[in-house]
Structure 1
Amino acid sequence: MKRALNFNAGPTALPEAVLKIAEKEWLNYKGTGMNVMEMSHRSKPYEEINTQAQALLRKLLNISDDYEILFLQGGASLQFTMLPMNLLEEGKKGYYALTGSWSEKALKEAKKIGDAEVVASGKDNNYTTIPKLTDLDSLENGSYLHITSNNTIYGTQWNDIPSNLNLPLVADMSSDILCRPIDVNSYGLIYAGAQKNLGPSGVTVVILKKDLLERSKDSLPSMLDYRTHAKNDSLYNTPPTLAVYLLKLVLEWADSIGGAEALETMNKQKAALLYNEIDESNGFYSGHAEVSSRSLMNVTFTLNSKELTDAFLSEAKELGFTGLNGHRSVGGCRASIYNAVPLEHVEKLAQFMKDFRTR
């Protein structure tokens, strides 16, 4: 079978090595005679999967014991609500930096819970750049500052993370977690849907500083209280067992190839191939993001006309490329080159872009 050249924005490609292991263990996971989906989440084999996944994530991102690692459901979209429900203190503000649609949605949900305010926005520039955060020392009476570290629709990414804050930094890292090393200690909370860099859809990772758990109120519904999941090792209710199992396999794969440092090297190489083709095309391809804000994960660009765009996407589809359509809100084209997208596939796309432009 010929594998697709998968550039979908999410869910997206999984490492082929991971899929082969899952295929091998599909009917009989480690001698249990069952698929992971069939076994009890209270069983020893599954508890080991859960524990190993947490340990691998802790190793790969150098997460200290000061943080809880939670495996939740509901995607990053539920975290838009769960975050302010737990961390937004009465009489204080949640501050938000707007860099695209997902940060807008996070702000919208926070406003339903309490007082939320925009501190910086790239909206006036059509989100082509990450806005500058100035006068952060003047952020008074704040519960947290929220950023979206990578913006899939617009192809921008934070490169200079806010530091020396007098309030916790919170980040939605759904589309760039583990694409490069990060200093987890700079954050109070990180959340990420798994379906771009960590595994399949269905599980959401939350990395939470333990002292922030004190903010959660007893009046919260149990399932929306971070303390519930922390106390029960993410096993309070039936977890998405297959998704957590595949998450573990992806983390094992990442560890085997050298971890976050090796992934960063590979991701920079992949991104450079496409950005170089855009920059050398003399305007045939136009990148959406300004150079200083370009994403390692989502390369967004347009062609000079709808007819050219349609022809580009049609020919690409015939050659086995999938997922190159830009988001419906901005149009154009987008190549999502997450960790599991092989370098060879990106090389083929860069060559196709060059050939199409030449013709």
Structure 2
Amino acid sequence: MSNTVPAEPTLRPERPFFSSGPTSKFPGWSLDLLKTESLGRSHRSKTGKGRLKYAIDLSRKILGIPDDYLIGILPGSDTGALECAMWSMLGARPATVAAWESFGNVWIQDAVKQLKLKELTVLNADYGEIPDLTQVDKGDDVVFTWNGTTSGAKIPNTDWIADDREGVTINDATSAVFAQPMDWPKLDATTYSWQKVMGSEAAHGMLILSPRAIERIESYDPEWPLPKLFRLKKGDKLNRAIFEGATINTPSLLATEDYIASLEWAESIGGLDALHARADANAQLVCDWIEATPWLRNMVADPAKRTNTGVCMVFQGDWYDSLSEEDQKAVPKKIVSMLEEMHIGYDFNGYRDAPPSLRIWCGATVDHESVKRLLPWIEWAYAKVQSEFSA
């Protein structure tokens, strides 16, 4: 690449929000869209509980969740919901935890250091790869992340999950659930958070349980004590009130209204098919640009494993390779800092534990035109950074 800095682009993204979580609000979002009748009311009131139940019902409708699956609102975002599933269900039989990025490794640490599972298999892979999931024994419970938020690698399919499995599957789907089709018959406990993909306010997690998961919870009591926030049972049975609008602790009804607004927006544009199409188009645009840009490569080499949400890219080429490790880490930070100060694009640096990289969120709430306009600015900023280093 030449040290000559190209002309500054003229078109700026109208909505410069490219964070991978919390993600961009949906187009047209405004506080004026949020209903306020539930605010200042008890979450146990008819009004408050009704809005929580409406959020559950609308989630089921848009995501196509089977009628015999239960959906509950839990505290602690996706982390709270996923750990609730792990702490409530694991230990009954051997388990496999598969990870290929930062958050999946957190679940490994939970299994190893906190739950101290006696019969545990760990499947791990570097950023940009996924482990060989065909190694998962159908007799094992399995914990996995559908979509690696910090690496851009997703599972290409669910063929590795046996139809006649004996264990339960626990699926962290937080950055995939509104962007990629979920194979519900293969999923027993699925979790996500409001701020991922749909860009709603944070701190609340969703826990979706299949009949097999319900049976596991009701037939099994783990040997470790359960914190109150993880207690799903009332006596020997699942507390079904949690899945009808009651919650274990006090939720934010303002955040609930924001989540509802995002779901109603999704419904207004055509539902799940429209959400998938918007994310696919955005991701394809970025992936094609990466392929055409000689100083970048997709962090995920296999196209079948590339996400359509948080697309991650790393730097390459003679100039970049000649830099010290410290300077290589500085390159993406300088690009992001420069464009954030100019209000061109916010929060698209790679994850702190990932290799030096950029990560552009491509989910459905991001406008295609904004993504298209961001890319020339990144090229311009890269040339500026290269020129500064070479001066």
Structure 1 contact 61–184 (Cα < 8 Å) conserved: no
Residue 110 of structure 1 and its aligned partner are, at CA, apart by: 2.1
Q: Decide which of 50, 54, 58 is 2:56's aligned counterpart.
A: 54
Query: 1:133-172 alignment to 2 at 5 Å?
Result: 133-136=133-136, 138-140=137-139, 142=140, 144-161=141-158, 162-164=160-162, 165-172=165-172
1:316 equivalenced with 2:336 (yes/no): no
Query: 1:70-219 alignment to 2 at 5 Å?
Result: 70-90=72-92, 92-111=93-112, 112-113=114-115, 114-115=117-118, 117-122=120-125, 126-136=126-136, 138-140=137-139, 142=140, 144-161=141-158, 162-164=160-162, 165-198=165-198, 199-209=200-210, 210-217=214-221
Residue 148 of structure 1 and its aligned partner are, at CA, apart by: 0.3
Partner of 1:237: 249
Residue 56 of structure 1 and its aligned partner are, at CA, apart by: 0.9
Residue 60 of structure 1 and its aligned partner are, at CA, apart by: 1.3
User: What SS does the aligned partner of 2:264 have?
Assistant: helix
Residue 186 of structure 1 and its aligned partner are, at CA, apart by: 1.5
Residue 42 of structure 1 and its aligned partner are, at CA, apart by: 2.1
Residue 6 of structure 1 and its aligned partner are, at CA, apart by: 0.7
Q: Distance in 2 between matches of 1:183 and 1:139?
A: 17
106-115 or 75-84, which deviates more: 75-84
- Label 1:189 to 1:319 Cα distance change in 2 as closer, same or farther (>3 A): same
Structure 2 contact 33–261 (Cα < 8 Å) conserved: no
Residue 145 of structure 1 and its aligned partner are, at CA, apart by: 0.9
Q: Distance in 2 between matches of 1:239 and 1:44?
A: 15
CA deviation profile, 1:313-349 (whole Å, cap 9, x unmatched): 2442224210111112222211122221111211112
Structure 2 contact 34–257 (Cα < 8 Å) conserved: no
The residue type paired with residue 184 of structure 1 is W
User: What SS does the aligned partner of 1:239 have?
Assistant: coil
Residue 160 of structure 1 and its aligned partner are, at CA, apart by: 1.2
Q: Distance in 1 between matches of 2:299 and 2:34?
A: 43
CA deviation profile, 1:203-243 (whole Å, cap 9, x unmatched): 10000123333145396444312235533433343222222
Partner of 1:39: 41
CA deviation profile, 1:137-156 (whole Å, cap 9, x unmatched): x454x3x2111011121111
CA deviation profile, 1:34-62 (whole Å, cap 9, x unmatched): xx442221222222211211111111122
Residue 269 of structure 1 and its aligned partner are, at CA, apart by: 0.6
1:289 equivalenced with 2:300 (yes/no): yes
User: What SS does the aligned partner of 2:233 have?
Assistant: helix
Structure 1 contact 53–247 (Cα < 8 Å) conserved: yes
Q: Distance in 2 between matches of 1:85 and 1:310?
A: 37
User: What SS does the aligned partner of 1:14 have?
Assistant: coil
1:226 equivalenced with 2:209 (yes/no): no
CA deviation profile, 1:18-48 (whole Å, cap 9, x unmatched): x32x32546xx2xx4xxx4422212222222
Percent identical residues: 22
The residue type paired with residue 332 of structure 2 is T
Please tell me whether Structure 1 or Structure 2 has the larger radius of gyration of its CA atoms. 2
Structure 1 contact 145–169 (Cα < 8 Å) conserved: yes
Structure 1 contact 129–292 (Cα < 8 Å) conserved: no
- Label 1:167 to 1:217 Cα distance change in 2 as closer, same or farther (>3 A): closer
Q: Which runs of 5+ in 2 are unaligned?
A: 1-12, 321-327, 385-391
Q: Which runs of 5+ in 1 are unaligned?
A: none
Structure 1 contact 97–120 (Cα < 8 Å) conserved: yes
Q: How many residues are aligned here?
A: 341
User: What SS does the aligned partner of 1:150 have?
Assistant: coil
CA deviation profile, 1:107-153 (whole Å, cap 9, x unmatched): 2112322336235321xxx22212222244x454x3x2111011121
> TM-score when scaled to structure 2?
0.79
Partner of 1:341: 366
Partner of 1:7: 18
Residue 4 of structure 1 and its aligned partner are, at CA, apart by: 4.8
> TM-score when scaled to structure 1?
0.86
